[in-house]
Structure 1
């Protein structure tokens, strides 16, 4: 079935005549008539009948019209997608938080380069609030940060990473091999990471009754530093799972099982301006996590 024949049929239906359809499609009226005849021959039915200068749908035409519209719509979407692929920029700038730069982008970038081999990527790391500002000012093409809400920004959730309690495999809690209550935690020292994050604030409130703040002996603003301190058995630390997956796999950090702790997670989103089309690069990243 020829897509141009379907297009001619739809234009005749909505314009009400062969001549108006020919004018809209920059074709001669005989060309429109030939396309309609060809479509009717393919379907072995009559779709249109003439009433003076007007063209009216037959019963078969009425039944076929919604399918023709759907086919043409899908075809046009396919062309749009193809054109998007043809106009990939040769360079992009990604704004992201430090943890995303360290733990997510090394997983994402090989897929981007494989799909778009001519792409040059610049990564700029800031706190999440600064990334939002960079996106709003169009200083970066898009951002990957903790989930945010802003009226001028589209936000696509790509990762919901559980926040757990982690320790060195040599920590006494691990050797006990039993689930801990939050009261048990008051007997141990902590490394405190990222006190400005919403996930830490929630955990802090949950543990406030057991005075966990008194047991924090080291404050750090860098997740890698926090992990290294945990590995050296300097204390327990709450961290998002995606940031410690490699250590969990090789056994240099172990999760501490806890009872009576509400589920807490770090939500990571891609953000870009509402006024911009979603780029194929953003779509690829979204696909990787869906």
Structure 2
């Protein structure tokens, strides 16, 4: 068993495919298959259940994945221990909800990569539910999601508390007559915290029948709301900083629905690589956060 075998195993586990793992590891499928068989023979367990479409981790495989991650994390930690901070290198896979991507990520990329040019930041977006799942399944090193987080396997660092508003087209000056006609909303898919807030608000107004237009980009939602397709919920700061010039009206929410807290999560059962430690420090220091906003 060596660390390369463990990386191959992890790639198969994440991709649920020998073919995709071979592409990711820049090798042939037969090599991937042989290395997994050798691992299974050495460990005397079956790591995967093979089907015609994909491979699935067995219960023993799930346990071994946790140990594999720890071993590789420790190996990287040893390498980083003897590396000067300015020579820090590697890849960080970070997940973001769309609004965090718009508000925080550009500043972070600029400051972090200037200080650590050897580190590649690989960002991807999704709903909080999807991002939490990806962190738990080792597909992401960390993710910006919406609090609260109750999973004991995850550590969370508070990043920001945001004020939320209902956003409409400029032609909709108030929300007092929403119930008179079919209500239309423009939202991300199920699992989006902003969508949940809007649906809860509608329910509190006695509105239970509404038509959803579902989009997967923030820019798309802004465009549709501006065109009068429907209303949405987004952070006030986002609208103020990036869309103040657009034909939009902002209607502040009140009470428990009016605020949303963003946290940065990561698994607690593996040692943090130095790259992630340095990344998290950017949000532990208020001055740095202000500069990156």
- When normalised by structure 1's length, the TM-score is 0.57
Partner in structure 2 of residue 191 of structure 1: 185
Task: Report the Cα offset of residue 236 of structure 1.
Answer: 2.5
Q: Which residue of structure 1 lines up, in the alignment, with residue 264 of structure 2?
A: 270
SS of structure 1 residue aligned to 2:150 = coil
Quote the RMSD (CA, aligned, Å). 3.3
Return closer, same or farther for 1:197/1:138 CA change in 2, 3 Å cut-off: closer
Counterpart for residue 239 of structure 1: 234
Question: 1:1-290 maps to which residues of 2 (within 5 A)?
Answer: 85=85, 88-147=88-147, 148-169=149-170, 171-173=171-173, 180=174, 183-187=176-180, 189-194=183-188, 195-208=190-203, 210-216=205-211, 218-257=213-252, 262-274=256-268, 275-277=270-272, 279-287=277-285, 288-289=288-289
Does the 8 A contact of 1:203 with 1:264 survive in 2? no
How far residue 100 of structure 1 moved from its aligned partner, in angstroms, is 3.1
Kindly provide the CA deviation profile for residues 62-119 of structure 1, in whole angstroms up to 9, marking residues without a partner as x. Answer: xxxxxxxxxxxxxxxxxxx9x8835733332212334433443123211212222332
With over 3 angstroms needed to count, the CA separation of the structure-2 counterparts of 1:214 and 1:134, relative to structure 1, is closer
Query: In structure 2, how many angstroms separate the alpha carbons of the residues matched to 1:146 and 1:84?
Result: 34
Runs of 4+ in structure 1 over 6 Å off: none
Q: How many residues align?
A: 201
Q: What is the CA distance between 1:255 and its match in structure 2? A: 1.0
Distance 1:111 1:285 in 2: 12
1:217 Cα offset (Å): 5.8
Q: Between Structure 1 and Structure 2, whose CA radius of gyration is higher?
A: 1
Query: Residues 252, 286 of structure 1: CA spacing in aligned structure 2 closer, same or farther, 3 A cutoff?
Result: farther
- Structure 2 residue matching 1:186: 3-state secondary structure: helix
TM, length-normalised to structure 2: 0.56
Q: Which runs of 5+ in 1 are unaligned?
A: 1-80, 174-179
